[in-house]
């Protein structure tokens, strides 16, 4: 079956612009996670959805970042007024549920470059 997909695979934008990054989770997975991976670092948690609601958004760095999952499937990470420091690989993962013992399945990521 299909895994987690993310689009676009690469996004280059200019400082100050708005971007949207899309994640298509594995069908039937209720839990969805966003992480950010900067160069030379491990992934850092951004936000967790259980169904349509953001159960934990404590990892979002500031109010320029926002994510939605309106129908409990596809999720979009939105970044306003992008800054050069936002350049990173944004990873999405999904899981059958949020239980700690469940495996998170990761997508290939979107590489965001802010010029």
Partner 1 sequence: AQSVTQLGSHVSVSEGALVLLRCNYSSSVPPYLFWYVQYPNQGLQLLLKYTTGATLVKGINGFEAEFKKSETSFHLTKPSAHMSDAAEYFCAVSDDQTGFQKLVFGTGTRLLVSP
The pairing of strands 65-68 and 53-56 is: unpaired
Q: Which is nearer to partner 1, 66 or 106 (CB)?
A: 106
CB 110 within 8 A of CB 6: yes
Q: Which of 18, 84, 102, 115 binds partner 1 (CB under 8 A)?
A: 102
Task: State yes or no: residue 113 binds partner 1 (CB under 8 A).
Answer: no
Q: How far is the CB of 73 from partner 1 (least distance, A)?
A: 18
Using CA atoms, how far apart are residues 98 and 9, in angstroms rounded to an integer?
A: 26
Q: Exposure of 70 by Cβ count < 10 A (0-12 exposed, 13-18 middle, 19+ buried)?
A: exposed
Stretch that binds partner 1, among 14-22, 42-50, 71-79, 80-88 (CB under 8 A): 42-50
List the beta bridge partners of residue 10: 111
Helix, strand, coil % (nearest 5) of the chain?
5, 50, 50
x-or-dash string of contact with partner 1, 59-88, rule CB under 8 A:
------------------------------
> Which residues here bind partner 1, judged by CB under 8 A?
3-4, 31, 33, 35, 40-45, 48, 50, 55-56, 91, 93, 95, 98-109
């Amino acid at each position: 079956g299909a895994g987690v997909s993310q689009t676009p695979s690469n996004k280059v934008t200019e400082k100050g612009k708005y971007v949207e990054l899309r994640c298509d989770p594995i069908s039937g997975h209720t839990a969805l996670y966003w992480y950010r991976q900067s160069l030379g670092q491990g992934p850092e948690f951004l936000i967790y959805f259980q169904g349509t609601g953001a159960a934990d958004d404590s990892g979002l760095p500031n109010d320029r970042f926002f994510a939605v999952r309106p129908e409990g499937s596809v999720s979009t990470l939105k970044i306003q007024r992008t800054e050069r420091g936002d350049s990173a690989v944004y990873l999405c993962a999904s899981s059958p549920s949020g239980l700690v013992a469940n495996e998170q399945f990761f997508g290939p990521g979107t590489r965001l470059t802010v010029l």
